[in-house]
Chains A and B, each alone.
Chain A
């Protein structure tokens, strides 16, 4: 069976552009990767250094939040175009989850 498969060749200019773009993306991914390892190291160091738990726990939670953001925006491409709906659903879900937990904490367990 012959199916219509269109083959579109890239022009040299297009090719060069794509290549430059992926180079840039690769660089940013590597930088983010390094940053994340660094953040993780800080967390471990904070625990090792034996600071008070009231200091260490919030710091680690803060760093974790930053890491989640970096993951989403750089590794999972949410910073790119066409992810508006995904972001809407994710933030919507987070908001609902937050309200639910808030309600449980305040009216059941307080």
Chain B
């Protein structure tokens, strides 16, 4: 019974609270942990970006040294992709997706917690490179010839840190897949799933197929650098191009892993605030699946200039352009969702409206780069930097910011200030276009990507200066958002189930924040936009599929944290094995500790606990 009492809200000391978060297996708390972890790395990556832009503010600048600049760009890219954008999306997926399908948790709560800790400690491992040695400096793509030649331990931190974090992501993805396949509430057929759930599903499938190549590539790199292998060393019979292939076989699906959930977020927001059913729902689903498939067949468009030959280049160019078709389908469906709707311009809707032109611009430059002959001109220039920031910032980051405002009330029970939210939006939106729009032209004028500084008199000065000012505006936007969060939390004005009043999906039918068991009774789903249907029929809440029964819930566990800790320690051992005699011992100890934890998990029966009917009734009464 103690466990039940613990999970019900009550005042706790600091130690107990910390223990609670370290051991939690609740998908909602893990979602919040992902948001905190991802938010931390987002700020870190943002500071790195500002330092890059300050260095490029004026010609011949020496604000940072050339070597440090390389570390900055590498860590900025790696942090933003692996440790900020993806975990922030995972946070929303974790929190919201089970609520949308009427589930009480994800399929494997224990593995969910393991996935989070592996991401977080992997990210920490990577960032400890700043203090312990030098940070990795071969770009986020870490092309093999360069990364194998890089002295010091920087690249070792990259290989091992990403290995740990990547394994966590893979676990998370598989967990989401199984949750969606097996844990949908009665009546929630595939074609009634909200678009955010659908995109979570497809993005997870992409993770399932794309992360194993990354794992293999990183192992090859680790063995080459730390254990004397020669996978990428051509003087020893290896082949350096293989890294590029493996990396992009992972890398291109990765960009869709990021953008698809953002598409899902915007789909929810468009239909909510146009107060209309999503236009072309089934076409949207099909387009998502198709994008997922095609996403695996275009990786070599990152390698046109490698010299794959005209046939290969032509095939990959055509495949690349084909992706624009399902993407276009989506854009038109969003426009037609807004068309004729009763539109409410809230902060999330503002982000969604800003997203369409921004993302389309990124898509258009993408198709341009997909034309192989043109890409010979554009490759490795600032044009590329402009392209991927238009899709990643104009798509993914706007999506994350929109979701933050949209689902904040559901997650924390308070409403972020709309006024400050709009201030954030305008600073961010204007700053974003200021920073990246002119970079297209810098690229066309010949400014190469990843340069430490540039000479005066090439006509690049003004555009670079404007770009830096734009970056500062985005920094201000982030600060306003943080202030908004602090003020809202301090005020603590509680809101009801459906604070936007136009919620359509199941998460809006339950309290904000939801009780730890989510649904007192499993809901019955009677169509797309479940909660909207209920509201149309004058119901308040959802139709239950079962009487109130005892609810089975999992127990918390510290083992996931310890398992990851073992790997974290083993990583240092692998890295320092060569120059320090204690390295091997640490490597073995870390791995042994992880295996011990796995053994404990296997032999110790943990059957969870029950929340009884009486307790549920009492708690449900308490909130009305």
Contacts and interface: CB of A to CB of B under 8 A. Distances in A.
Interface of A: 1, 3-4, 85, 89, 92-93, 96, 99-100, 103-104, 106-108
Contacts of A3: 550, 610
B134 interface: no
A18 B21 CA distance: 48
B19 interface: no
Contacts of A103: 245, 300, 312
Contact of B312 (A92, A100, A107): A107
Contacts of B312: 103, 106-107
B241 A4 contact: no
Contacts of B300: 103, 107
B339 interface: no
Contacts of B612: 1
A85 B181 contact: yes
7 contacts: A4-B549, A92-B293, A100-B249, A103-B300, A106-B312, A108-B241, A108-B245
Contacts of A85: 181
Nearest to A3: B550
B434 to A, nearest CB: 40
Contacts of B158: none
A96 B209 contact: yes
B296 A96 contact: yes
B567 to A, nearest CB: 26
Given A99-B296, A103-B300, A108-B239, A1 B610 contact: yes
A8 B7 CA distance: 34
Contacts of B578: none
A98 to B, nearest CB: 11
Among the interface residues B208, B239, B296, B309, which one has the most CB atoms of the partner chain A within 10 A? B296
Contact of A4 (B181, B209, B249, B550): B550
Given A3-B610, A96-B209, A103-B300, 16 more contacts: A1-B550, A4-B549, A4-B550, A85-B181, A89-B205, A92-B205, A92-B293, A93-B209, A99-B296, A99-B297, A103-B312, A106-B312, A107-B308, A107-B312, A108-B242, A108-B245
**A interface, over-half SS:** helix
Contacts of A106: 312
Nearest to A86: B181
Nearest to A97: B209
A100 B181 CA distance: 27
Interface residues of B, number: 20
Contacts of A107: 300, 308-309, 312
Nearest to B550: A3
Contacts of B550: 1, 3-4
Interface in B154-204: 181
Contacts of B241: 108
Contacts of B181: 85
A64 B612 CA distance: 53
Nearest to A85: B181
Contact of B245 (A93, A96, A104): A104
Contacts of B205: 89, 92
A85 B202 CA distance: 13
Interface string B200-217: 000001001100000000
A100 B298 CA distance: 11
A94 to B, nearest CB: 11
Contacts of A104: 245
Contacts of B209: 92-93, 96
A99 B549 CA distance: 50
A83 to B, nearest CB: 12
Contacts of B297: 99
A97 to B, nearest CB: 9
Interface string B545-556: 000011000000
Among the interface residues A1, A85, A103, which one has the most CB atoms of the partner chain B within 10 A? A103
Nearest to A110: B309
Nearest to B313: A107
Contacts of A93: 209
Contacts of B549: 4
A99 B181 CA distance: 27
Nearest to B205: A89
B461 to A, nearest CB: 42
A107 to B, nearest CB: 5
Nearest to A4: B549
Closest 10 CB pairs of A and B: A107-B312, A3-B550, A96-B296, A107-B308, A4-B549, A1-B610, A96-B209, A3-B610, A93-B209, A100-B249
Among the interface residues A1, A85, A99, A100, which one has the most CB atoms of the partner chain B within 10 A? A100
A100 B205 CA distance: 17
Interface in B504-538: none
Interface string B391-433: 0000000000000000000000000000000000000000000
A1 to B, nearest CB: 6
Nearest to B309: A107
Nearest to A93: B209
A90 to B, nearest CB: 11
Nearest to A99: B297
Contacts of A108: 239, 241-242, 245
Interface string B231-272: 000000001011001000100000000000000000000000
A32 to B, nearest CB: 27
Contacts of B293: 92
Contacts of A99: 296-297
A2 to B, nearest CB: 8
A106 B300 CA distance: 13
A92 B312 CA distance: 22
Interface in B285-299: 293, 296-297
Interface string B589-605: 00000000000000000
A4 B249 CA distance: 50
Contacts of B245: 103-104, 108
